[in-house]
Amino acid sequence: MKPVWIVDDDQSIRWVLEKALAREAIPVRTFASAQAMQAELQHSVPEVLLTDIRMPGQDGLSLLHDIKQRYPDLAVIIMTAFTDLESTVKAFQHGAFDYLAKPFDINHAVISAIFSSM
């Protein structure tokens, strides 16, 4: 199984997700920025990608747009602290597989979203 990739500039979110996925025996790699993830994309492709929306540098929606151009079959799950309708609609219009509102429930929301995207 290929690893799940996580892009979030918030260190504690990365840590929590890493631990939660490790508990389910899901391999995981984390990145602090979209740029770092794009660089790694030269060498390998993830099973599923989880990304935050608001980050310094390239934001999550623009990253989602890039990924859908190059890897249309890769499932991307958007995480955001914005709970308004507008960013949800945007995420799905850009082809997001799922949408997680922070703070999320690890067992119910995160793990089930990842399993159903595999």
What does the binding site for another protein look like in residue numbers (CB under 8 A)? 10, 12-13, 15-17, 19-20, 23, 54, 81-86, 102-107
Q: Which residue has the tokens 């939660």?
A: 20
CB 102, min distance to another protein, A: 4
Which residue, 36 or 81, is less far from another protein as judged by CB? 81
Q: How far apart (Å, rounded) are the C-alpha atoms in residues 36 and 22?
A: 22
Nearer to another protein, 19 or 70 (CB): 19
Closest distance to another protein from the beta carbon of 107 (Å): 7
Phi, psi of 52 (to 5 degrees): -75, 160
Q: How far is the CB of 18 from another protein (least distance, A)?
A: 10
| Of 13 and 96, CB closest to another protein | 13
- Please, what sign has the CA dihedral across residues 47, 17, 8, 59? positive
- Least CB distance to another protein at residue 37 (A): 18
Q: Which is nearer to another protein, 24 or 47 (CB)?
A: 24
